[in-house]
Amino acid sequence: MTDPDDRSTSRRRFLALAGSAAATTALAGCSGGGNGGDNGSGGGNASGGADTAGGQPTSGGTEGSDSTAGNESGGGNESGGGSGTGEFSVTITQGQPPSTLDPQNHRETPTDNVVLHAYEGVLARDAEGKIIQKLATNYERVEEGRVRFTIQEGVTFHNGDDLTPEDVAFSINRIVQEDVGFASPQADQLAGVTGAEVVDGERAVDVMSDGFNPIVFASFATYCDIMQQSWVEERSGEEIAQNMNGTGPFQLDTYEQGVRVVLSRYEDYWREPADISQLTFNAAEESSTRVNQLLEGETDVAVNVPPQDAQRVRSSNSAGLSAVPSTRIIYNAMRYDVEPFSSPQFRQAMNYAVNLQGIIENVLSGFADPTGQPTLEGFVGYNGNVEPYPQDQERAESLVEESGFAGAEITLHTPVGRYLKDVEIAQAVVSQIDSLSNVSCGISQREFTSLAGELTDGDITTGPNFYLIGWGNATFDASQTIIPLLTSDGALTSYSNDELDSLISEAQSTSDQERRASLLKEANALCREQAPWIFLNRQYSVYGVSNRVEWSARRDERINAYAMSSTS
C-alpha cells in the first residue's frame, strides 16, 4: 500500500480527525500476505459474502500453514471477556438488519456481525489477523486432501448440551453437502472441501478436500460456524432462521425481524464471560441517522460514518472515530451472458468511461483506494503490474462502437445505505457513463436485502444485469474473491471464462506455493483485461464509537463485542 504521505490531504485530514492510532498504523503500511500458502495473516471475519468478509496482515506470517500443525502455544487467542458480573449494555447500529439468524444460510456481513456473537468456528482470527484456535485445540494436515481438527472439551451450547465432534462434522457437511439439509449459499467459502467425518476413538474431526486445498486452514479461520446437529434436525428452516443456539459468548433474548436483535451474556461460556451484559443490534439505512443516534447517546457504535461527518463526531464530547482500511472491494458487476455486457470491448469501455480517481477524491473525500483487479494489495496473488483503468472517454466511445452496441441503454442497480457512500458512488458512475455519446445509463436504487437475495439465490438470471455490490475477503487470498464471483461455477458469479477457470483450478490443486501465487497473479491480469466488472474502490471502515466503550475497528469488518469493555 502506498505511504499516506502520497495520498490526498483530505484523507490525511480525515485520519487526523479520527484520532485512531490503529487507523494511522494501518494506513502507513499494509504489507504482508505471507508466502502464498495457507496464510495465517489477514483478517478474519465473518462471512466474506456477496456483500460481504480482521486484522491487518502480519508480515510474513504463516500461522497454520500446510507444513505445520496448530496448537494452543502457536495459535494465540482472541482477546476479550472479563469478569462477566457487572451490568454493561451496548447498542450497535449497522446500515442493514440481519436477513436471518441461521449462520449458514446467508452471505452478508451485517448478518455475520450478529450471528457470530452466538456461533463460533473451529478456528478464528485475532484482531491482528493471525489464525487462532476456537472450538479446535489443534489442527494439522494428515495427508493430501485430509486435515484434522481436535475439538475442545467442556464447551456447551446455549441450551446446556455439550459440544461433540459429531456436531462439528454435521455443521461442515451442512454447508458443503446439499443432501444434509439444504443448499447453503456458503458452500464456495469452503471451496474444495467435500465433507467431514468423526475420527473413531478420538475427539477429532477429519475434513476431506478434493485435492491438496492450499487454503483450507485460512478458510476455516474465516468461515463455518458450528451448530448443534440435534437442534437443527428438530427444527424447520423458519425456526432456525428466527432462533439461535450456539457456543458463543452471547445468547439470544429477543428477535424482531428487520428491526432489532437483543442478546445477553452467556454466563456458562467456556471462556471468561463477556464484559457486556446486554448487546443490541439495530439498523438505519441513512448514515446521518446513525451519526445522530451516536451523538444523542442512542447507540454506542455506528457503522460507516461518512467523511463529511467526521468533524462532527470528533468534536463531540460523547464519541470518537475508529477507522481502518478494510478487506472489501466495491465494484460494478456486468453479466457476461446478456447484451451489451457480453462484449469484452463494451465492458472495457465502461471502465474507461469512469473517473475512478475523481470518485475517490470527490465522493469519498480521498478515503479509499483505486482497484484494477479483483485482489487487493497484500493478498496472495495480487498482481503489482496491473494498474487501475484511467478515464479515457474518447477510447470508451471507440470501444463501444467496436462492440457493436452503440446506442445501448443500461441501468445500474445499487443498494442504499449498505456501503460507505454507495448511492453517491453509483450516481457518479451513472453520470459518467451517461455522458458518453453512444450509451445511455440510468440508476435503480434498491433495498439491500432484496438485491442481495437476487444475487445469492443460485440463479444468475434472477438478478440484474448491472449492479453495484461489495465483497469482503477475510482470507487474504485471491482465490476467495475470484472463485465465488468470477468462475463459471461460483455461487455469486456474473462471469464465465474457460481460461480463468483453468488458472484457478490449477492454483487450487498445487502444493507449490510460488507456482500458485504466479497462477493467481496471471488470473488477476486476465480479469483486468476481460473487465468483468467496473473496478471501483477498496472500502475503508469508519466507525463512530461512544466514549463509554473501549473498542477498535478491524479490517475484516467484524464488530466483536466480546472484545469490548467499559471505559468507566
Q: What grid cell was written down for 335?
A: 453479466
DSSP type of residue 388: P
Residues 503 and 383 sit within 8 Å (Cβ to Cβ): no
pTM: 0.74
Residues 301 and 95 sit within 8 Å (Cβ to Cβ): no
Q: Would you state the pLDDT for residue 78? A: 58
Residues 416 and 447 sit within 8 Å (Cβ to Cβ): yes
The topology (CATH level 3) of 328-539 is Dipeptide-binding Protein; domain 3 (3.10.105)
Instruction: Report the C-alpha gap between 533 and 547 in whole angstroms.
Output: 40
Give the position of cell 457476461.
336
Instruction: Report the C-alpha gap between 181 and 105 in whole angstroms.
Output: 11
Residues 30 and 42 sit within 8 Å (Cβ to Cβ): no
Task: Tell me the pairing of strands 549-550 and 565-566.
Answer: antiparallel
Is pLDDT of 107 > 90? no
Task: Tell me the pairing of strands 89-94 and 278-283.
Answer: parallel
DSSP string, 162-185: BP-HHHHHHHHHHHH-GGGSS--T
Residues 262 and 276 sit within 8 Å (Cβ to Cβ): no
What are the φ/ψ torsions at residue 287 (nearest 5 degrees)? -65, -35
Average pLDDT score over residue span 167-177: 98
pLDDT band at 54; cut points 50, 70, 90: very low
Is pLDDT of 99 > 50? yes
Residues 334 and 354 sit within 8 Å (Cβ to Cβ): no
Instruction: Report the C-alpha gap between 504 and 479 in whole angstroms.
Output: 7
User: Does residue 89 or residue 26 have the better pLDDT?
Assistant: 89
Pseudo-torsion of CA 181, 185, 191, 192, nearest 10°?
30
The CA–CA distances, whole Å, from 491 to 50, 179, 217, 247, 556 equal 9, 17, 21, 28, 21
The topology (CATH level 3) of 89-252 is Dipeptide-binding Protein; domain 1 (3.90.76)
pLDDT digits (tens, 9 = 90+) for 345-384: 999 999 999 999 999 999 998 889 999 999 999 899 999 9
Give the position of cell 468456528.
121
How many helices and strands (H and E) does the chain possess? 18, 19
- Mark 11-21 as b/e (b = at least 16 C-beta within 10 Å): bebbbebbebe
Q: Which amino acid is at 210?
A: D
What are the φ/ψ torsions at residue 544 (nearest 5 degrees)? -95, 130
Instruction: Report the C-alpha gap between 361 and 546 in whole angstroms.
Output: 28
Residues 403 and 439 sit within 8 Å (Cβ to Cβ): no
pLDDT band at 83; cut points 50, 70, 90: low
Instruction: Report the C-alpha gap between 333 and 395 in whole angstroms.
Output: 21
User: Does residue 18 or residue 233 have the better pLDDT?
Assistant: 233
Average pLDDT score over residue span 39-64: 35
Q: Where are the domains of the chain?
A: 89-252, 328-539
Region of residue 531 (phi > 0: left; psi between -120 and 50: alpha; otherwise: beta) = left
User: Does residue 75 or residue 303 have the better pLDDT?
Assistant: 303
Q: How far apart are the first and last CA of the chain?
A: 37
Among 293-297, 303-307, 331-335, 397-401, the least confident range: 303-307
Segments of 418-479 assigned E as strands: 439-446, 466-472
- Tell which residue, 275, 270, 135, has the closest CA to residue 204: 135
Is pLDDT of 204 > 60? yes
Is pLDDT of 69 > 60? no
Among 24-33, 106-115, 439-448, the least confident range: 24-33
Q: Which amino acid is at 267?
A: E
Residues 318 and 547 sit within 8 Å (Cβ to Cβ): yes
pLDDT band at 72; cut points 50, 70, 90: very low
Radius of gyration of the chain (CA): 22
Q: Would you state the pLDDT for residue 63? A: 32
Is pLDDT of 190 > 80? yes
Burial of 243 (0-12, 13-18, 19+ CB in 10 A): middle
Average pLDDT score over residue span 393-407: 98
pLDDT digits (tens, 9 = 90+) for 512-567: 999 999 999 999 999 999 999 999 999 998 999 999 999 999 988 899 999 999 99
* Neighbour order of strands in the sheet with 204-209: 136-143, 146-151, 204-209, 193-198
Give the position of cell 501465487.
517
Segments of 303-436 assigned E as strands: 319-334, 369-370, 408-415
Q: Would you state the pLDDT for residue 504? A: 95
The CA–CA distances, whole Å, from 555 to 111, 212, 290, 326, 395 equal 17, 28, 21, 4, 36
Cis-peptide into 340, omega within 30 deg: yes
pLDDT digits (tens, 9 = 90+) for 120-149: 999 999 988 889 999 999 999 999 999 999
Q: Tell me if residue 152 falls in helix, strand or coil.
A: coil
What SS3 string covers 356-382? Answer: HHHHHHHHCCCCCEECCCCCCCCCECC
Among 76-90, 254-268, 384-398, 474-488, the least confident range: 76-90
Q: Would you state the pLDDT for residue 39? A: 38
